Copies of this chain bind each other. A is one copy, B any other.
Amino acid sequence: MAADPAPILVTGAGGFVGQALVRALAGTRPVIATDRTGLDNADLPGVTALPGEIDDPALIARLTAEPLGAIIHLATIPGGAAESDPALAARINVAAPMALIDTAAAHGNAPRLLFASSIAVFGDPLPQHVDDDTPVRPMLRYGAHKAMLEEWIATLTRRGAVRGLSLRLPGIVARPLAPSGMKSAFLSNLFHALKAGEPITLPVSADATCWLLSRRALVGQMTAALTLASDPETTRLNLPALRVRMGDLVAEVARQAGADPARATYAPDPAIEAAFGAQPPLATPAADAMGLRHDGDLAALVAHALADL
């Protein structure tokens, strides 16, 4: 009889992405799920919930008490919230994961490590074209924290302590309406508003362009990345995403939701347009070669996103 595979630790497991990821992993192998709140997946097969604050050394010790087969690190203080509380953000986004990864790696089994990084590492304004060679140049604290942890994971991967891969997430739609501390919340709020037939004022122009991915496609990319061979020279990956024009997105969401697209109006905020609405063509050859896929087309992206509401 084969022994159980070593468990996968998922941090931020109570969040929008974490919940779906734990559902996708449950039953395939043991899962340890942690978050400060929202862990309602504990009844899934093979899922152990260990709630707590990720910067608590006692929690870190419990999470890493046995060797982990893999870690998917999603927990974060996002962009807007990080600007509001820099000390908390530095602790949760940088110091805590450094400690968690070190403690997990101390077992010596070089666990697979997927880190939810962000396109925020590129900052703004973006170059006219983004690909795997585009240098990082964050402007938000959040983006700098992500770039710093990418560097840490790259180093530990070269050292053989972990088999790390930082996945730079584009805009994920459609997140819940609850305040998430994300400056890009309007991207998800659009889906909620049109589905409810309510008006929404978008802080970008109709010609704004955004890189988007549904949660379903992201979870597919993450579960695929979990089993890919680790390459110490490729530890940072831009994820394939659809580049969508805001006016086209509004029209497609309205069509599928049976809503009037005129419920969405545009009042561009120059800072938001620059940070989230001026995303140029994106090439992701490394991720493409690994078989990671975005939603395919706008209709599929919108259908996947609406299915999550």
Query: Interface residues, chain A, CB within 8 Å of chain B?
Result: 86-87, 90-91, 94-95, 98-99, 102, 123, 136-139, 141, 143-144, 147-148, 151-152, 154-156, 158-159
Contacts and interface: CB of A to CB of B under 8 A. Distances in A.
A132 to B, nearest CB: 13
A90 B99 contact: yes
Contact of A148 (B99, B141, B151): B151
B155 A144 contact: yes
Between A90, A94, A99, A148, the greatest number of chain B beta carbons within 10 A of the residue's beta carbon is seen for A148
Contacts of A159: 139
A294 to B, nearest CB: 28
A151 B154 CA distance: 14
Contacts of A139: 155, 158-159
Closest 10 CB pairs of A and B: A144-B155, A148-B148, A95-B95, A138-B155, A147-B151, A90-B98, A148-B151, A86-B102, A144-B152, A144-B151
**Identical chains bound together, number:** 2
Contacts of A87: 99, 102
A143 B148 CA distance: 12
Nearest to A95: B95
A98 B94 contact: yes
Contact of A151 (B95, B151, B158): B151
A109 to B, nearest CB: 18
B158 A152 contact: no
B91 A95 contact: yes
Nearest to A156: B144
A86 B105 CA distance: 12
A190 to B, nearest CB: 29
Contacts of A151: 136, 138, 144, 147-148, 151
Contacts of A158: 123, 137, 139
A141 B105 CA distance: 14
21 contacts: A86-B102, A87-B99, A87-B102, A90-B95, A90-B98, A90-B99, A91-B95, A94-B94, A95-B95, A123-B155, A123-B158, A136-B151, A138-B151, A139-B159, A141-B155, A143-B155, A144-B152, A147-B151, A147-B155, A148-B151, A151-B151
